[in-house]
Amino acid sequence: MDLSSWMFIFVMSAGCGIACMIIAQRKGYRGTQILGWLAAGLIFSIFGLIAVILTTHDSDGTHVAGASATCRFCGAPILSDAARCIQCGGEIARGV
């Protein structure tokens, strides 16, 4: 590969890394988590960018996988198959 091909790969990786970092910051990630997303974007390029877009993140800075709604009592994220809220213990009413 020639120098221009390597430069293209480097510029694309840097662009994806910076985009991952910006998206993570806007989703509420802080500190070293943002640097982790920057590294993911640099290393995995477009796949790191897709990962940061598809992850869910709640307001207190923790990752929530599979959250589908929020508790009507405390506002915490609730998993789709949960019967009670983990935070406040409130009972989840499900449609019949």
Annotate 39-85 with DSSP letters as a single string.
HHHHHHTHHHHHHHHH--B-TTS-B-TTEEEE-TTT--EEETT-SB-
Structural tokens at position 96:
């019949």
Q: What is the pTM of this model?
A: 0.51
Compute mean pLDDT per 10 residues along the chain, 96 residues long, and list them: 82 87 84 84 78 70 59 79 81 64
Q: What pLDDT sits at residue 64? A: 52
Contact call for residues 79 and 67 (beta carbons, < 8 A)? yes
Structural tokens at position 59:
């307001």
